[in-house]
Chain A
Amino acid sequence: MLQVSNLKTSFRTPEGIVKAVDSIDISLRKREKVGLIGETGCGKTVFGMSVVRLLPHNTSISGKVSYKGKDLMTVPESHMQNIRGSEISFILQNPSVSLNPLMRVGGQIEEAVRKGKNLSAQESRKETLRLLKEVNFQDPEYIMNRYPHELSGGMKQRVMIAIGIASEPDLIIADEPTKALDKGNKKEILSLLSDTAERSSMIMITHDLAAASELCDRILVMYDGEIVEDGPCDEILSDPLHPYTIAFIKAHPKNGCKAIPGSSPSLIDLPSGCRFHPRCPDACAKCRTNHPDLSSGHSHHRKNRCHCH
């Protein structure tokens, strides 16, 4: 239902061209849920924004995004707006920024409910109350009349989800839905997402492997603007192939909290060869000069971008 091929997104900046997304290919089946993981700055949000064409003016974008047979790169903006409001919903990172601080949350949900539908005020209010119940608010009438700043981080995130699912979208792109939430809240958001998004496809953007593994069928690991590993969730977690995936898993407090040496390179001056080679414990001469492809080795359902593993 979603097929992204050779997607490249870059920004012109005074410092140079930032290649935030570089040749990404992803295909997503109906109801399939994939996790896009990788450290901050590797291009996850830009990827999501590229799919729904929500990018600033200094952007140049190429490649193909085909959604149910339509090429989203070429449909007119007015049509794209309809798709964004009804078929594809983007649950934005950081609810304190994306919720309107001057508007009661009920009004913000109603706005999303009305999009693409012809509902009376009464019907949309009813639907808003239902959505608030669906995201576990016991007292929807009370919550409706709150301003965002009167709600906690976890509550705001649930409001964001209510907005995200209001139009019953076919595809949900959720950007860091559990970021900075504590354990209880995180659990609640994850189970909410898995219940409410049951009939939708989902791309969950996160740097939290545990969260991705609870919800997703497949995981894509992103490093420096490109996908370095792609495979079923449980296999990636139990038997990661790419050295970056291995290091990323070991950095989790449950697995030793080991830091990856160095820091991720700038997206302006990408290293030659494999982008991970300056930080890779196993890098060889070939890794320093030749850029590896994302290829399937012994098993066709897994892909890896590495010369050595």
Chain B
Amino acid sequence: MSLPLIEVKNLTKVYHSGLFKREVKVAVHDVSFTLHTGETLGLIGESGSGKTTIGRLVLRLIDPTSGRISYKGRDITHVSRKEMRPLRRDMQIIFQDPESSLNPKMRIYQIIEEPLLLYTELSPKERDEKIRSMVSYIGLTEEYLGRYPYQLSGGQNQRIVLARILILEPEFLVADEPTASLDVSVQAQIIEILKRWKQEHTLSILFISHDEDLVKTLCDRVIQIHDGRIQDLQDRNTS
């Protein structure tokens, strides 16, 4: 088997909070797993079980207390923010609440264009083509490009967030309950976009959810987390 895309070994995260940082919470305890290229790994557990913490640790948005994270064989546990920057394009995250990731003062066009400006050298014309084809890919029409996030529904905004991520063709995506605040019918649209994209591109996903049924429709493998610990690792095929 090829090298795993992500390898997590004995990851632990302890939060210190409250007055004089006296409140100690072991949010993630000795968690190990691997994620292979192109794979969708489900991470399920009740709220407060440590799922978001794991997602953020893997992306190095927060520092682990102990343990090791490697990306394509490279140990990224202790790399600096600056060293992480070139990897940010390939490692993306989508949150539960689309509004938190969209600048309310920007039009949809600019929102989708922004990552291209940040990470690519494309000409304005090339960007324009990409933006228009992306909008149709997520099932919206070009008339939405001139609108603002507040003029769109939650599900439409979440599709914009997804467009903004996918337009960079990332290798790895942490999806942190991206549909938890949406209706089932809107949720199904997001899941269909992800499924279709995965048929056409190589994208590995860590899909965080508390909904077992949802995880089953999308994921190749599922890890169950309880109180910061992995409970059992089961293959979807054998369950």
Contact = CB atoms under 8 A, between A and B. Distances in A.
What bracket does the count of chain A residues touching chain B fall in? 20 to 34
B217 A253 contact: yes
DSSP class of A's interface residues: helix, strand, loop or mixed? loop
A259 interface: yes
B191 interface: yes
A247 interface: yes
Given A253-B217, A256-B217, A207 B48 contact: no
B184 A209 contact: yes
Nearest to A185: B47
Interface string B41-81: 00000111000000000000000000000000000000000
8 contacts: A40-B153, A185-B46, A247-B185, A253-B187, A254-B213, A257-B187, A257-B191, A259-B189
Contacts of A184: 46
A183 interface: yes
B199 to A, nearest CB: 15
A258 B153 contact: no
A182 B47 contact: yes
B112 to A, nearest CB: 18
Contacts, number: 73
Contacts of B189: 259-260
A248 B182 CA distance: 13
Q: Which residue among A185, A207, A247, A259 has the maximum number of chain B CB atoms within 10 Å of its CB?
A: A259
A183 B153 contact: no
Given A152-B48, A185-B47, A257-B191, A251 B153 contact: no
B231 interface: no
B181 A179 contact: yes
A231 interface: no
Nearest to B47: A182
B69 to A, nearest CB: 26
B204 interface: no
DSSP class of B's interface residues: helix, strand, loop or mixed? helix
Contacts of A153: 47
B46 A257 contact: no
Contact of A251 (B180, B188, B218): B188
B192 A40 contact: no
A108 to B, nearest CB: 23
Given A253-B214, A253-B216, A257-B214, A180 B180 contact: yes
Contacts of A258: 188, 192
Interface string A147-160: 00000111000000
A153 B191 CA distance: 25
A25 interface: no
B121 interface: no
Nearest to A263: B156
A41 interface: yes
Interface in A244-303: 247-248, 251-254, 256-260, 263
Given A40-B155, A251-B188, A252-B184, 11 more contacts: A40-B153, A180-B96, A182-B47, A207-B183, A208-B184, A253-B213, A253-B214, A257-B188, A257-B218, A258-B188, A258-B192
